[in-house]
Amino acid sequence: MTTPRPGRAGERGAATVLTVAMAGLLLLVGAAAAVVGAIVASHRSAQSAADLAALAGATALSEAARDPCGAAAEVATANDARLDRCVVEGDEVLVAVTVAGPRWLGQDEDLTAEARAGSVRPAPGQAGDGAGAPGWARPVHPGESG
């Protein structure tokens, strides 16, 4: 016959409680990571849509036969975004778009992104500084310098 060792009787079931607590913590961390991941993915989608819309608008501006903001709106819509603002400043197009954010755990905010695109002016002495079609710059995000 086995008898419990003295001092161990109070620890009976402690591993079960610890296992349940750790499983709950793991589920909580997993859910938080999923929400953060979905928000980051939606923001990247919004920024991509803004970048592409700005480039479409700048391309339409260079062709002069198309409406830059109309082209930007078409591209934004094709990327599941809504064009909120489109401004043509000289040879640049600035756009702001919104995409639906994730709808998990009470998160119901939409995500907004902005981008700017326009022609590139080469420095004197560089190739392309005379005749010929201008190149196109990468999108400039708010807070960056041209």
For residue 11, the 8-state DSSP code is G
Hey, what's the torsion of the CAs at 124, 125, 128, 130, to 10 degrees?
A: 70
Distance CA 102, CA 35 (A): 8
Model pLDDT for residues 58-117, shown as the tens digit of each residue: 999 988 878 999 999 999 999 999 999 999 998 899 999 999 888 776 767 889 999 999
For residue 94, the 8-state DSSP code is E
For residue 144, the 8-state DSSP code is -
> Is 0.85 topped by the overall pTM?
no
What does the block give as tokens for 130? 């005379």
Distance CA 80, CA 97 (A): 10
pLDDT band at 8, cuts 50/70/90?
low
| Average pLDDT score over residue span 40-58 | 94
More confident residue, 135 or 15: 15
